[in-house]
Amino acid sequence: MEYLNKLKVKKAVIPVAGLGTRFLPATKAQPKEMLPLVDKPVIQYIVEEAVKAGIEQIIFITGRHKRAIEDHFDRNLELERALEEKGKRELLKTVKEISDLADFIFIRQKEPKGLGHAVLTAEPAVGNEPFAVLLGDDVMVGEKPAIGELIEVFKKFSCPVLGLQEVPKEEVSNYGIAGGKLVEENLIKVESLVEKPSPSEAPSNYAIAGRYVLTPDIFTVLKRTKPGKGGEIQLTDAIAQLSKERAVYGRIIEGKRYDTGNKLGFLEATIDFALMRNDLREPFLKFLKEKLKEELRDG
């Protein structure tokens, strides 16, 4: 694995095959990843984070009914022509830039066998290189791209790195939880990993926040990983196994995480993202203040 420290993390795997049942009926005919935060689909924020951290190639692990994602990252010549003719130059630039963000590869996950299986499906495109994994439900906002924080740690140790964030004890059963020793500020050496434990089984309250830098030896482990929680092949189980064979680190990510995979998290993200927009902040804040006053008055 010595060769790894000479390699840059250039590839990112983004699993997008999930059915999005938590957002039905909105996701009956469109992928959940295409739901917008203000006017940009969630998946584009994830891709932009990866690109900001130096990723050049995005490997989407996709499924049936996900064609809209392919179309979004492709050119749309008809639309471009129409915008050109109408002189809408800003919009034309916005639309064109999306397809230039990175090289995009799409691989179908033929059966919903879990996150571990989705990552294994990327093996032919990843090959023998370190790679990033970003989960589409976790939108991160911070000064630096969250996955970039993990890549920094990878550069130093040439080891797999997980993105972690503290969660309240009562929420540990929603996440993969990592236990270990703090070795530097915001960095732990992982000693145990459990997928969705009960609060009493959890080794800590450091949750895996949907960001990973992995080394290609994870594929060998994934091939022999048996179905775990929910009958699915769990990435957490495979990394737990790998951590017995080599060092695995957990980086406590500095930014704010929005879980856009659940309705409340999605609404919180929508409000915060609207407030971050210069064109919307003022009128939206005015609306929110009035709304809050009204709600408080009516009890």
Chain residues that interact with ligand G1P, rule: CB under 6 A: 115, 135, 137-138, 175-176, 195, 207-208, 210, 234, 236
For residue 193, what are its two tokens?
Answer: 């990993």
Residue 98: C-alpha distances to residues 39, 43, 107, 164, 272 (Å): 14, 11, 20, 29, 23
Whole-number Å distance between alpha carbons of 282 and 288: 10
Please tell me the distance from the alpha carbon of residue 169 to that of residue 202, in angstroms, as a whole number.
9
- Minimum distance from residue 18 beta carbon to ligand G1P (Å): 7
- Looking at the Cβ atoms of 123 and 138, the one nearer to ligand G1P is 138
Of the candidates 96, 186, 194, the one whose C-alpha atom is nearest the C-alpha of residue 142 is 186
Nearer to ligand G1P, 123 or 137 (CB): 137
Q: How far is the CB of 236 from ligand G1P (least distance, A)?
A: 5
C-alpha 14/C-alpha 11 separation (Å) is 10
Least distance CB 176 / ligand G1P (angstroms) = 2
3-class secondary-structure state, position 4: helix
What SS3 class is residue 221? helix
Q: Which helix (H) or strand (E) holds 67?
A: helix 67-72
Bridging pattern class, strands 256-259 and 249-252: unpaired
Smallest gap from residue 79 Cβ to ligand G1P (A): 33
| Nearest residue (CB) to ligand G1P, 20 versus 210 | 210
Give 57 or 173: the residue with its C-beta nearer to ligand G1P.
Answer: 173
Q: Which residue is nearest to ligand G1P, using beta carbons?
A: 176
Angle between helices 42-52 and 146-157 (to 10 degrees): 40
CB of 116 to ligand G1P, least distance (A): 8
Is the Cβ of residue 44 or residue 234 nearer to ligand G1P in the bound state? 234
63 versus 210: smaller Cβ distance to ligand G1P:
210
